[in-house]
Amino acid sequence: MTFLVTGGAGFIGTNFIRYWLENHPQDKIVNLDRLTYAGDRKNLTDLENSSRYQFVKGDIGNQGLANQLMKEAEVVVHFAAESHVDRSIENPEVFLQTNILGTFNLLEAALKNKIKRFHYISTDEVFGELPLGTKEKFNEETKFDPHSPYSASKAGADHLVLSYYHTFGLPITITNCSNNYGPYQYPEKFIPRMITNILDGKKIPIYGDGQYVRDWLYVTDHCRAIEAVLRWGKPGQTYCVGGLTKDVSNLSLAKMILKIMGKGEEYLEFVVDRAGHDRRYAVDWNKIKKELGWKPKETIKSGLVKTVFWYQQNESWWREKKKEAEEFYQKLAAKKI
Ligand code: NAD
Ligand code: TDX
């Protein structure tokens, strides 16, 4: 089969393309990516000699291009997005442009070209936040209640994607997954920011009191979940994907990483909180487990050990990106004062 993957030069898309081509030797992938600050074509240059992989630089909002690429494709896996909550606080407009209008453009092209499956990668952040110290979790029935411009733009796209199933019969599926981590994640995000700070001998910035909870999912487990949905998922369905069963606070996560890297708690630094910071995310992934037989393989410990190792081995990948990310954070901090 021929796939059109959008946003494949970003973190999850890169991991997905590698995973898919390794595990599906008959398939071909075209990767459409605009190469924003978050995209790096070099992530996959070793595949560019292969007849099974093609990179196309372009915007998902480009109608002609989306139509042209979908003529050849049977399946679309749509990752491309502006993905960072802190940047959506600073400059929301591009989030609406890419995440909502870009998705709309892809849906139109998918309909016109009779795409067999349109899979949209969404987030658990569309559900809002949960209270600390409860056993409540997000599931497929949870009402949407997005709090940041990022999550609002993702939620808008979730609704649009579903509407193309109900109104036009486009065979869509959606995964609402939790916080991913692993190789190739841009160092603006919490886990790679912590690891690269420690490697640079710098402290780890903990927002607010550190008692915020995220549900951490190792990126390869997420790729396996997408694979399960593409193979066995039913059109029109959404699937929640998470990596944990017990809460891990940001502070405990930071301490785990310090321990893995052989450093002490003097590396912790509490900093000013994020505006509108969601307290707790926790995902109930029973539906995908029961219906499609998926569950995560990595524990938080095994996933973190792999991730730390990757960043230790790949400084040339993250060095320039980290400079850009920290400049962004400095600008953000200056605005808050
Ligand atoms: P990322 O920011 O690392 O990568 C996004 C990619 O999309 C980049 O390569 C970028 O160049 C590309 N892109 C951005 N705008 C584009 C446009 N207009 N046209 C074409 N390409 C464009 O993101 P990620 O962390 O890999 O996330 C991928 C998807 O998964 C996103 O839709 C995100 O909302 C979702 N998601 C991410 C997480 C997470 O923890 N990272 C969790 C849940 C859901
Ligand atoms: O320096 C930091 N210090 C800190 O305490 C950073 C960058 C983050 N944090 C906190 C904020 C969050 O509680 O860590 C937690 C994780 O932050 P991010 O890595 O920015 O992720 P989050 O905001 O939870 O969103 C991520 O998961 C859901 C992805 O960026 C989204 O694309 C995805 O939809």
Atom of ligand 2 at shortest range from CA of 213 = 13
Tens of pLDDT, residue by residue over 134-161, are: 999 999 999 999 999 999 999 999 999 9
Is any ligand 2 atom within 6 A of the Cβ of residue 190? Answer: yes
Tell me, rounded to whole angstroms, the distance of Cα 276 from its chain centroid.
Answer: 20
- Tokens 């900093």 locate to 271
At residue 304, the pLDDT reads 98
Q: Is residue 292 part of a domain?
A: no
Decide if 72 is catalytic. no
Decide if 125 is catalytic. yes
Kindly give the interhelix angle for 250-260 and 300-313, rounded to the nearest 10 degrees. 60
Atom of ligand 2 at shortest range from CA of 191 = 19
User: What is the band of 336 on the pLDDT scale with cuts at 50, 70, 90?
Assistant: low
* Ligand 2, pocket-test mutation among 85, 86, 215, 268, most atoms within 8 A of CB: 85
Q: Is residue 337 part of a domain?
A: no
At residue 189, the pLDDT reads 98
Q: Is residue 291 part of a domain?
A: no
For 7, list phi and psi in degrees, rounded to 5.
70, 25
- Cα→Cα distances 90→57, 146, 186, 245, 333, Å: 26, 17, 18, 33, 11
- Give the separation between CA 233 and CA 236, rounded to whole angstroms: 9
Atom of ligand 1 at shortest range from CA of 8 = 9
Is any ligand 2 atom within 6 A of the Cβ of residue 105? Answer: no
Tens of pLDDT, residue by residue over 303-314, are: 999 999 999 999
Tens of pLDDT, residue by residue over 266-312, are: 999 999 999 999 999 999 999 999 999 999 999 999 999 999 999 99
**How many domains does the chain divide into?**
1
- Tokens 């110290």 locate to 133
Tens of pLDDT, residue by residue over 78-108, are: 999 999 999 999 999 999 999 999 999 999 9
Range of the domain at 57: 2-178+216-241
Q: Is residue 330 part of a domain?
A: no
The mean pLDDT of 212-229, rounded to a whole number, is 98
Q: Is residue 122 part of a domain?
A: yes
Q: Is residue 38 part of a domain?
A: yes
Domain at 124, CATH number: 3.40.50.720
User: What is the band of 331 on the pLDDT scale with cuts at 50, 70, 90?
Assistant: very high
At residue 337, the pLDDT reads 43
> Cβ–Cβ contacts within 10 Å for residue 262, how many?
7
Q: Is residue 290 part of a domain?
A: no
Is any ligand 2 atom within 6 A of the Cβ of residue 179? Answer: yes
Atom of ligand 1 at shortest range from CA of 37 = 11
Q: How many residues does the chain have?
A: 337
* Ligand 1, pocket-test mutation among 5, 79, 150, 229, most atoms within 8 A of CB: 79
Q: Is 50 exceeded by the pLDDT of residue 22?
A: yes
Is any ligand 1 atom within 6 A of the Cβ of residue 80? Answer: yes
Which ligand is located closest to the Cα atom of residue 10?
1
Is any ligand 2 atom within 6 A of the Cβ of residue 83? Answer: yes
The predicted model scores a pTM of 0.98
Decide if 273 is catalytic. no
* Residue 244 backbone class (left: φ over 0; alpha: ψ -120 to 50; beta: rest): beta
Q: Which stretches does DSSP call E strand in the chain?
A: 2-6, 28-33, 53-57, 75-78, 117-123, 172-177, 179-181, 204-207, 216-218, 237-241, 268-271
Catalytic member of 53, 120, 150, 267: 150
User: What is the band of 335 on the pLDDT scale with cuts at 50, 70, 90?
Assistant: confident
Write down the mean pLDDT value for the chain: 97
Q: Is residue 252 part of a domain?
A: no
* Ligand 1, pocket-test mutation among 4, 6, 11, 150, most atoms within 8 A of CB: 11
Tens of pLDDT, residue by residue over 165-189, are: 999 999 999 999 999 999 999 999 9
Is any ligand 2 atom within 6 A of the Cβ of residue 214? Answer: yes
